[in-house]
Structures are given as structure tokens and as C-alpha cells.
A and B are shown apart, each in its own frame.
Chain A
Amino acid sequence: QQPVQSPQAVILREGEDAVINCSSSKALYSVHWYRQKHGEAPVFLMILLKGGEQKGHEKISASFNEKKQQSSLYLTASQLSYSGTYFCGTEGSNTGKLIFGQGTTLQVKP
């Protein structure tokens, strides 16, 4: 089942913070986060695994609440380059396959 992302869209000024949420109705093994700029391929940001392990870019922060089957991506002191669509992908039971949410569009203005 497709995870649900919120909000659907966010508009920020440079330097402001944002949180993007991802919620699943199923137990999760891992959550991935990707950013896609217009006309480009999605780019990997971070993976959060059941048990607390995280891998990803140093400047990206995220959390994974296994009990609530939720993950949040924290974007602090936003820059213009943060603009794009953010997707969470969820994996159940170590299947190796991600099901992606519908995306959250982030626009950072000067």
C-alpha cells in the first residue's frame, strides 16, 4: 500500500525550516527519502532502517518511528537548491522493493 505524505506542498523563504511526513498503514523495514528536481531523476537522500541505523547525506536529518510506522524529513535553514519534489519510499519486511508516496513539492523563495 502506498504511504501517505504530508503536506502535499510547501512554500518557504530561504533560511526557514520545513518538516515532511510519511505515514504507512503497514509495518516497515525501512524508509527511503529522495528529492526530484523538475525534469530530472530522483536522487537518494537518506535511508532509515528498522532498529535505528541511518545512512545518507550529512546535511539531511530524518526520523523513523517504527511503532507508528512514520518517518519525518527535517529540512533546516533551507536553501534555494532544496526546491523540488520529495518522495518517501517504504519497504515492508525486507522485501527490497520500495513503494513511493505521492510526493511533497517544496519551493524555496529568495
Chain B
Amino acid sequence: GAGVSQSPSNKVTEKGKDVELRCDPISGHTALYWYRQSLGQGLEFLIYFQGNSAPDKSGLPSDRFSAERTGGSVSTLTIQRTQQEDSAVYLCASSLAGADGYTFGSGTRLTVV
């Protein structure tokens, strides 16, 4: 597609439930990133996929968070047993390998009630 597509755009879930957030990167972009942005805050790195290499998971805040990328394209971020502090906008970005700017999706606004 023309840009990075994320779904759903908004998600309200009850505390303790699992959620899945989807990211469809720009075709041909080998690098895919997930960031989290809490209200009025900066961009917190979560996880980074590059081609067929093992992902860099160093930013995942707890073992309730996991992500996968299938076929080098679509990625899913899963949050298990959601907590209120998980409420944030989850942004996905993709880029070509090497020195290239990121293209961000519009994000998924997650609200845990």
C-alpha cells in the first residue's frame, strides 16, 4: 500500500483481556518497528524487526507483550492480561534497510478500562 496501515484505530478493552494490534508496512520495507506513546509523552521503543534476523525485543516492558512478523510483512503486537498502564497509542513504523527515514502508521489508541 501507499502507507503504513494499522488496525484497529481504536480499541477499548477490559482489564485482564488480551488484545492484538496489527500493522501492515509499506511494501518492500524490510524494517518494522513498534513504539508506544502515552498521553503527552515521547515515543517509547518496543520491538524492531529487520528482514529475517531475530527481532530486537529489548524494549518490551514485560512478558505480557509479544510481537511477530509473518512472511516479512504484516506484524501483530499482542498484549496479554491488559493493565490500565498499557493504555497508550501504539505506533508502527517501517523503513527500507539502512539509512532511511521511518514512515509511521496512524496508530492504535488502546484504552484499558
Contacts and interface: CB of A to CB of B under 8 A. Distances in A.
Interface of A: 2, 30, 32, 34, 40-44, 46-47, 49, 53, 55-56, 87, 89, 95-103
Nearest to B104: A41
Contacts of B99: 30, 47, 49, 53, 55
29 contacts: A2-B42, A32-B101, A34-B104, A40-B106, A41-B105, A41-B106, A42-B43, A42-B102, A42-B104, A43-B104, A44-B101, A44-B102, A47-B99, A47-B101, A49-B99, A53-B99, A55-B99, A55-B101, A56-B101, A89-B43, A97-B33, A98-B33, A98-B45, A99-B45, A100-B42, A100-B43, A100-B44, A102-B41, A103-B42
Contacts, number: 56
Contacts of B42: 2, 87, 100-103
Nearest first, the 6 closest Cβ-Cβ pairs linking A and B are A44-B101, A41-B104, A100-B43, A102-B42, A97-B48, A42-B104
A46 B56 CA distance: 24
Interface string B94-107: 00010111111111
Nearest to B92: A41
Interface residues of B, number: 22
Contacts of B91: 41-42
Nearest to B102: A44
B106 A96 contact: no
B100 to A, nearest CB: 7
Nearest to A46: B101
A53 B101 CA distance: 13
Nearest to B53: A96
Nearest to A91: B99
Contact of B31 (A40, A49, A87, A96): A96
Given A42-B91, A44-B102, A55-B100, 10 more contacts: A32-B101, A41-B91, A41-B105, A41-B106, A42-B102, A44-B103, A53-B99, A89-B43, A89-B102, A99-B45
